[in-house]
Copies of this chain bind each other. A is one copy, B any other.
Amino acid sequence: ATVDRAADFANYFCTYGFLYHQKEMLSDRVRMDAYYNSVFKNRHHFDGKTVLDVGTGSGILAIWCAKAGARRVYAVEATKMTEHARQLIKANRVENIVEVIEGSMEDVVLPEKVDVIISEWMGYFLLRESMFDSVICARDRWLKPDGVMYPSHARMWMAPIRTGLGEQKTSDFELSMGDWESFIDETEQQYGVDMSVLTKPFHEEHVRYYLKTSLWSNLNPHQIIGKPVIIKEIDCLTATVDDIKAFSVKVSSSITMEKTRLGGFAGWFDVHFRGNRNNPGHDIELTTAPSTNHSTHWGQQIFLVHPARCVDDGDNITVSFSMSRSRENHRLLDVELTWELTELSGKCSTPVASKYYIE
């Protein structure tokens, strides 16, 4: 399916046009510290170099690159946020180094190739928003052969968790279905129309909304009940759109907590800034894993298991995970997840398969 530009702009980019939203990102200390350190602890990657900032937003990363000694920074941004970025760049006296270019990265023409591409492209569970496509496009056109990607690596993680969210959502769902039943009765009595044929599709719509849509959450690390596992590794220097557009993986994790309940799976990501093989740097990490005092605006995505399943220390969970893009909106994701439990005794459960939507 081709992407309609205007619809994409209306849907996706519009939020980024608000300072309110940029501020939310700029207030995320974990995110800010990681990018700040990645630049200022690796000045040798920037000093005298040319840099491309894909999706500069407020311009923050471009300004840092300039302050770290870059000779020239191209700061590309699709939204009107460029106006604010220009002001900010001027107020911080790097307007001779940073050039703000308003446009889609896919369309922009630069006067030269660059030594570094920096971008904060990560969405929920890493790939929501599909913005890495634009970074790949920029890399293939504008990065010098020996250029460096910031970040250089990304990984997706998954872990079994305990949570009361499944019960809560199930009860919300049931309330809503109860309400539907009285609606059916009333419509028949008051208006002579029998709506019961819509009960099934309404039920499906609601199951999807309440139980199959992944939930944003900032988990407490204690909610993780099994070993987190990596489900995807991305080398930002070589990854292609095909690598990330759709993938499947089978992983296994062991339960590390006594007599608890599996209420779902949590997904998160980390990225690393390591330079490249010929031009390494200080390894800086940005992780969005559950944390008591380093939580991020990305949080984690929860895929509910309901009803929750009793599990025990030493049980083994095998998970087949596949992710693809939503047919209606390429920036949203569809997940298929099948899990199976092997108890310490050797007893196996029948596999449980569910579809989820990251919206």
CB <8 Å contact, A27 and B183: yes
Asked whether A112 is an interface residue with its Cβ less than 8 Å from the other chain, the reply is no
Query: How long is the Cα–Cα vector from A91 to B201 in the complex, in angstroms?
Result: 14
Query: How long is the Cα–Cα vector from A7 to B3 in the complex, in angstroms?
Result: 11
CB <8 Å contact, A201 and B84: yes
Number of interface residues of A (CB under 8 A): 45
Query: How long is the Cα–Cα vector from A149 to B50 in the complex, in angstroms?
Result: 65
- Chain A 194-210 interface mask (CB, 8 Å, partner B; 1/0): 11111001100110010
Chain B, residue nearest A35 (CB)? B191
CB <8 Å contact, B23 and A180: yes
Candidates B11, B20, B32; contact of A205 at CB < 8 Å: B20
Looking at chain A's contact residues, is the secondary structure mostly helix, strand, loop, or mixed? helix
Contacts of A32 in B (CB 8 A): 190-191
Contacts of A23 in B (CB 8 A): 180, 183, 202
CB <8 Å contact, B27 and A193: no
Candidates B60, B91, B187, B196; contact of A197 at CB < 8 Å: B91
Query: How long is the Cα–Cα vector from A209 to B18 in the complex, in angstroms?
Result: 11
Asked whether A192 is an interface residue with its Cβ less than 8 Å from the other chain, the reply is yes
| 9 residue pairs A–B, Cβ–Cβ below 8 Å | A4-B6, A6-B6, A19-B205, A20-B206, A20-B209, A23-B202, A27-B183, A84-B201, A88-B193
Residues on A facing B (Cβ under 8 Å) = 4, 6-7, 9-11, 18-20, 23, 26-27, 29, 32, 36, 58, 60, 63-64, 67, 83-84, 87-88, 90-92, 180, 183, 187, 190-198, 201-202, 205-206, 209, 329
